[in-house]
Structure 1
Amino acid sequence: MVTLGTEKFQLISARLLGVPGTLVGILQNIRKFVDQTKYNWDEICVCLLADGRTRIDGRFNNLVALQRMGIYVDLEEMYRENGLMDIHGRIQPIDRYNFDNVDDKRASRTQPRFTVDNGQTVYVHLFENVINYENYPPLQMMFALKEFNAGKLDTHLWFFEGFAHHIYRVMNERAPPGVNEELYCVCLDAGTRPEETAIVKLINAMDKDRNVAGCCGEITVDKALAPKNVFYNWYVASQDFEYKVGNCLDKAFESVCGYISVLPGAFSAYRWSALSPPELGATSDKRPIVPYFKSVTHGGVINPFYGNMYLAEDRILALELVCSRTAANTLKYVKNSVAVTDVPDSCAALIKQRRRWMNGSFFAQIFALWQGLLLFRIFTTRHSWFRKLILMNELLFSALNTILTWFLVGIFYLTFIILWNSFLIDGGDLRFPGADAVYIVIQFIYLILMFTTFLLAMGTQPDSPRRSLRALYKLISLIFGVYMVATFAVAVYNVVTSTQIVLMAIGLAAVLSYILVAILHGEGHHVIINYLQYTFMSPTYINIFQTFAFCNTHDLSWGTKGLDSNDVSQKDVQAQRNEFRTYLVLCWAISNLALIYGVTSSTEGTSGSATVLAISANSFMYFVLGTVVFFNGVKSIGSLLYLIRYWFGRLCCCCSCGGKSAELTADENVKNEWKAYRQSEKLASGGAGAAGGGLEYRGFLLQGNSDWRQGTPHDPKRLKQLPITPETAVSDRV
C-alpha cells in the first residue's frame, strides 16, 4: 500500500521524489522477489491510494503522470455523454445531471458530482492494470482515487478492511487443498523509497517466524541531501542524528523485548492473519485492527484524550497486536531494511510534525500503560511467562520515560541555571566582577524566551502567513541553540575540573553512550558528524516542540475527520477541546513550576550581592547524568543483545545457505509447484484475470489484453538492453 496525500509526483534531475521514487524502490524489490526468492511477480500487488480527488497536490500533473503509466483514465472523459460509463449503461438521467451541474468546489457527500446507477454515490475510483516496465518484472497495480478527502487513517481503512480483506479471502479460496496462504501488507508513504532489498527483508522476517505479527525497518534521511542540507541545515542534521539513535537504541531495545511501541506507517509490514485472525471471524469487533480505526468509524465525537491519542494510531495498533489473545504476537525491528525519506527542512514544518508526534505518543503511552498493566491485558496473551515479564518491565520503563517527558522542561531549566550558577557564582565566590549580574541577565533572557514561546504556541502557528511570526520562531530557536552550546561547554568544564572521578565517568558515559552504540551498529559517522547540530537543536526539541505540542492539544487535524457528520455542533466540540487544552496546560505548567520552586526555594541563599544555590552543582549533575545513563544503559543492553542475536542469526544462515543471504534463497520446489498451479488456473479460466495486462475501471475492460512475457526481463530478447536506470522505470513507455 502506498498512500498519496500531498506528495508531488515529480522527477527532479537525478533524484527520484514522490510517487516515482517509491515505485522505483518497489520495482527493485519485486525484481529481487522474482529472481532470488520463492515469490513470483503475480503474488505481489501494489495499491496506490490517493486521499481526495480534488485535494491531490499538483493534481493535474499527478493524474497525467499516472495516465501515462497506464493506471488512470481521465474521469471527465469517462463520465461525459457517450463516454465509457455511458456506453456501458451506468449513467442514468440523475447521474448525468449531477455530473453536468455539480462542480468540484460544491461537490460533497450529500451532493456528489460522480454518481452511477441512478444516483449511487461513487466514493472511490478504482483502476487496475499490469504494467510492464523496462528491465523489471510486471507490476500488478491498483490505483484507488478517493472522491472525498477524509485523512490518512480513512485511506488505511479502505486498504485494510476493503482491499486486503477481499484479497485474503480470495487467495485462500483459490489456494490448493491444505495450503493456508498468508497475506503480508507493506505500508509506505508516497515519497518514502525502500532500498533494493528492504521489503524483501521485512517479508523474510515474518516468513521465518510466524509469531512476528509486524515489523519495521530503518527510516533514514535522504542521502541525496548530503552534504549540503544534512550538514548545513541543522534541522535536517538533527533529525538524521535522531533517526539513527532511535533505530540503534530504541528500536533495537524494543525488538528484543518483542514490543515495538510504534511501527511507522511510512515503512512497515503486517501479517494479515494477525491483524484479522480468521478464528475471530471477518467482522468481529475483537480483531486487533478494529481499535486502529476507532477515530474514523466511531459514530459520535471522540473526546480530546482519544483524539490526541489517535494522532499516533500506529502505537495503538502495535499495542493491540501484542495484547491479542489469539496468538503470541511479537513485533520486530529489521536491521538493514532501509527506506529513504524526505524530512522537514524548515522550522515551521518540523514544529507542526512534532506536535502530532509528541501529542500522539504521549497520550498513546498513557493508554498503553493503562491497557497493558492496569487492565492486565499483557497477562492474558499466549506469550510465555518469561515474555510477559519482559513486556511488563518494558511498560514500566515506558512509564518512567513518560514521567520524565512531563517534567522535561522544568528539569532542563534547572540544569541550565544550576550549571551557570556553579560556573559564575561558585559558592559565593564570583568568577569575575559582575558575574552575578551576568547570571541574572542570562536567566532573565531564558525566561523571556520561554514566555514568548508559550504565547506563540497558544495563539499562532509556525507557518503563519506573517513573516515576522515565522522569523520569531526561528530567532527563538537560534538563541536557544546558542544557549545550549554555551551550557554544554560549561557542563564539560564543570565535569573536567571536578575532583570527583565518579562524576567524570558518569558524564563521559552519558556523552559516549550514543556514539558507542551507533558505532556498533555501523552508524557511528552519522552520529559523530551530527552530534553538534543535535546538541544545538536540543532546547528547540524540548522547549519549543513540547510547549507547542501541549498548547495545541485542541488541534486534532491529523487523525480525525471533520465534524459535519456529528450531531454535536462544531462550537460545542471545539469548546470541549479548548477546555481540555486549558486544564492540561495548567497542570503541566503548575507541576513544572512546582518542581523548579521546590528545588530552588529551599536551597537559595545570598552571599553579598550574589545569589547562591546551596544545592551542589555536582549533586544535581549526578541526578541528571545518572538519569541519562540509566535510560541509555538499559537501551544499550537491549541493543547489544539485538546485535548478538542479529549476527548469530546471519552466521547460522551463512553456514546453512552456503554463504548466501537467507532472505535471498529461493525454494525452487515450492516456486515451481506454485507456478504450475497458477498456470493451470489461467488455462482453466481461458487466460483471463490479472495477468491479462488490461486497465480495468470498476470491472470494465478499457484496454486489450497483452502477454506479460513480451517486453519484460523474462523475455530473452531484451536481456541485452541498456542498463537499468531509475529514469527508465518511470518513463512514459508502458
Structure 2
Amino acid sequence: KCWSTDPDRRPTLDHILKELEKLLVEPTIEFITNNTNQIITQSELYPSEDDYLNEFEYDRCIECENTIDSLILNDIPLNELSFRIKKSLPQSLDGFTSISTEQHKIIKPIELTNGNLVIECPVHSSLSANDTHEGSKEFTHMRYTACTSKPDTFKQENFTLRQSECIPKRQTELFILITINDENEILLSSTLHGIIENITYFCFLTESPTWDKDGWEKVVICIISDRNKINKRTLSYLKALGVYQDGIARSKVNNKTVRAHIYEYTTQMSIKCSKNFVDKKRIISAQMLFCLKEKNKGKIGSHKWFFNAFCPILSPKIFVLIKVGGVKPVDESIYHLWKVFSNDQVAGTCGKLLVNNRGWTKLLNPIAGALVFENKISNIINKPFESIFGYISSLSKDFSAYRYSAFQNITNDTEDASNNNILAKNDYLANNNAICFELISKHKFSWILQYENSSQAEVDVPNNFA
C-alpha cells in the first residue's frame, strides 16, 4: 500500500476498514478424521508473532498512522502463547463504528497416527530460543495425544510416547511420577524445581559410566492429575513451561471417548513460584509428560496410567514416586536414591523427610507437633533399624524409589495366577505395606529394601488434618 500524502494515492476510509476486516478474520482449521470432525483454531496450532506483525510493515503518513493505530494496532495484547487478533473493533472509537466479522473456516484433513489423534503444536519462540538441536521437534513443539484406550491396553492400541520414537531410542534410567490433585502452582513449582536441580547434577557426572552432559535424556518427569480436580493456576504454570496448551484437547476421536489427554514437551525453563516472587530461569533440558485423566479415580487411577500405560513403553530401570504437597527433593537426593540400586538385590528404597525451616510456629499445635515427631522417630529409629534386616514395613509414600524389574510378575499365591498382576490390583497400589511384603517375598528372588539417610527431601509442616 502507498501511504503518501498525495490525496489521490491515499486509500479511502472504506478501503482501510475493509483491509482491517480481513485482518480480523480468525481462520479455523477443521481436521477431518474419518467420520469425526476435529476442530482446532489455527492460532492455537501455529502461534507466530511474525505473521501478526508483518502485516503492518509499510511506510505511512502521520495522519494515516494515527488513524490506524487508534483503531486497532496499539490495542491488541500479545498473549505469550497465542497471538490472536481480536474478532471485532470496539463499538465506538473516534466516530468509527465497529465491524462484525464471521469466522472463516479452512477444512484441512489430518492423517491419524496408527488410528490415533496425535498433534504436534508449536510452542512460543521464547521457550525454544536456546534450542541447539536442529531438526528436533521436542523443543519447538508440544505433542498432544488424545488417548481413547484404557491404561492396560495403551501399548496394544498403538499409543506411544516421544522417547520411544527417538533415533537412537532413548533408554530411560529414571522415571519420576508426580501425582497432584488440587495443589496450587507454588507447591508444584517447589517439587519440580527440586527435581530439575537433581537432573542438572546428573548431567555434571561426566566420569560416570551411566551419566554425562546429555544425562537429561535418561530422565522423564511424569505429572498425572484428574481434569476436574486440577487447580487452574497449576495449569497456567504448566502452560508457562510449555507442557500444556489450551483449546486443543478433544473429547472424542472416531466416535471413541477420550479417556486421557497426554501432553509431552522437553522444557528448558524452570519457574519457581512463591507468594512474593516468581523466579524464572533457563536450565538443563527436562523431558516432561503431563497426563490429564477424564475419570476421577484419584491416586489409584494415576498409578494405573503410570504403571500399566507408560512404564511398558519406556521400560525404566528405576522409578521414583513423589507426592506434591510441599515435598521438595534437595540437592543430590535423587542421585543418592539411584545409587542405592547399584546393589543388584535392592528392590526399593526411600529417603529422609525433613521439615523445612519455615512454619515452625505451626508446631505449637499439638497435633501438628505429634505428626512431625512421629516422622522424626521413623527416620531416626524405625526405618534404619528395619533396613538392617533388609525389610522396611512401609516405604515413604512421599519420597521413594523402586526397581521396575522387581515390580514385574509379582503374584499373590492366595489368588488365581491368571489375574494377580500387582500393578493392576487397586488394593495393593493403595497399600504400601502390601507392596513391600510382596517384593521381599517374591518367589525365586531375594529382594531387599533399604533406607538411604543421605537422600533427603523437605516437607512443609502440615496445616490441616484431613
TM-score normalized with structure 2 length: 0.54
Alignment partner for residue 187 of structure 1, among 297, 309, 321? 321
Match of 1:332 in 2: 450
User: SS where residue 185 of structure 2 aligns?
Assistant: coil
Q: 2:446 is matched by which residue type in structure 1?
A: A
CA distance in 1 between counterparts of 2:234 and 2:463 reads: 23
- Higher relative contact order (CA closer than 8 Å, sequence separation 6+): 1
Match of 2:27 in 1: none
CA distance in 2 between counterparts of 1:335 and 1:200 reads: 12
Is it true that 1:44 corresponds to 2:176 in the alignment? Answer: no
Q: CA deviation at 1:136?
A: 2.5
Alignment partner for residue 244 of structure 1, among 376, 381, 395? 376
Match of 1:8 in 2: 184
Q: 1:344 to 1:311 in 2, by over 3 A?
A: farther
Q: CA deviation at 1:245?
A: 1.0
The residue correspondences of 1:126-275 to structure 2 (distance < 5 A) are: 126-133=262-269, 134-168=281-315, 183-191=317-325, 192-206=327-341, 208-226=342-360, 228-230=361-363, 232-275=364-407
Question: For the Cα contact (< 8 Å) 1:218–1:247, is it kept in 2?
Answer: yes
Render the CA deviation track for 1:400-424: whole Å, top value 9, x for unaligned: xxxxxxxxxxxxxxxxxxxxxxxxx
Using the aligned pairs only, state the percent identity: 31
Q: CA deviation at 1:135?
A: 4.9
User: SS where residue 352 of structure 2 aligns?
Assistant: strand
The residue correspondences of 1:581-660 to structure 2 (distance < 5 A) are: none
CA distance in 2 between counterparts of 1:239 and 1:203 reads: 28
Give the RMSD, CA atoms, in angstroms: 2.5
CA distance in 2 between counterparts of 1:22 and 1:285 reads: 40
5+ residue gaps, structure 1, are: 11-17, 80-84, 86-113, 169-181, 297-309, 353-734
Alignment partner for residue 73 of structure 1, among 219, 238, 245? 245
Question: For the Cα contact (< 8 Å) 1:289–1:317, is it kept in 2?
Answer: no
Q: CA deviation at 1:237?
A: 2.5
Q: 2:260 is matched by which residue type in structure 1?
A: V
Q: CA deviation at 1:157?
A: 1.2
Match of 2:197 in 1: 28
Q: CA deviation at 1:197?
A: 1.1
Match of 2:188 in 1: 19
CA distance in 1 between counterparts of 2:237 and 2:398 reads: 22
Q: 1:189 to 1:289 in 2, by over 3 A?
A: farther
Q: 1:205 to 1:286 in 2, by over 3 A?
A: farther
Match of 1:316 in 2: 434
Q: 1:286 to 1:26 in 2, by over 3 A?
A: farther
Q: CA deviation at 1:287?
A: 11
The residue correspondences of 1:192-591 to structure 2 (distance < 5 A) are: 192-206=327-341, 208-226=342-360, 228-230=361-363, 232-276=364-408, 290-291=421-422, 293-295=424-426, 313-346=431-464, 349=465, 352=466
User: SS where residue 215 of structure 1 aligns?
Assistant: strand
Question: For the Cα contact (< 8 Å) 1:259–1:330, is it kept in 2?
Answer: yes
Q: 1:289 to 1:25 in 2, by over 3 A?
A: farther
Q: CA deviation at 1:285?
A: 8.1
Q: 1:334 to 1:122 in 2, by over 3 A?
A: same
Q: 1:341 to 1:285 in 2, by over 3 A?
A: farther
CA distance in 2 between counterparts of 1:286 and 1:222 reads: 46
CA distance in 2 between counterparts of 1:316 and 1:60 reads: 35
CA distance in 2 between counterparts of 1:255 and 1:237 reads: 26
CA distance in 2 between counterparts of 1:233 and 1:243 reads: 16
Is it true that 1:115 corresponds to 2:115 in the alignment? Answer: no
Q: 1:277 to 1:315 in 2, by over 3 A?
A: same
User: SS where residue 132 of structure 1 aligns?
Assistant: strand
Q: CA deviation at 1:344?
A: 2.7
Q: 1:7 to 1:248 in 2, by over 3 A?
A: same
Is it true that 1:55 corresponds to 2:235 in the alignment? Answer: no
Question: For the Cα contact (< 8 Å) 2:429–2:435, is it kept in 1?
Answer: no
Q: CA deviation at 1:312?
A: 5.2
Q: CA deviation at 1:234?
A: 3.0
Q: 1:224 to 1:139 in 2, by over 3 A?
A: same
5+ residue gaps, structure 2, are: 1-176, 270-280
Render the CA deviation track for 1:295-331: whole Å, top value 9, x for unaligned: 37xxxxxxxxxxxxx6951111111100101321000
Q: CA deviation at 1:244?
A: 1.2
CA distance in 2 between counterparts of 1:320 and 1:250 reads: 20
CA distance in 1 between counterparts of 2:245 and 2:437 reads: 41
Q: CA deviation at 1:156?
A: 0.8
Question: For the Cα contact (< 8 Å) 1:220–1:240, is it kept in 2?
Answer: no
Q: CA deviation at 1:130?
A: 0.5
Q: CA deviation at 1:288?
A: 12
Match of 2:114 in 1: none
CA distance in 2 between counterparts of 1:247 and 1:5 reads: 27
Render the CA deviation track for 1:180-215: whole Å, top value 9, x for unaligned: xx6100000113111111111000001x20100000
CA distance in 1 between counterparts of 2:401 and 2:377 reads: 22
Question: For the Cα contact (< 8 Å) 1:288–1:324, is it kept in 2?
Answer: no
Render the CA deviation track for 1:215-242: whole Å, top value 9, x for unaligned: 000122232223x223x23333222221
CA distance in 1 between counterparts of 2:406 and 2:333 reads: 21
Q: 2:292 is matched by which residue type in structure 1?
A: L
Question: Larger % of strand: which?
Answer: 2
CA distance in 2 between counterparts of 1:326 and 1:62 reads: 45
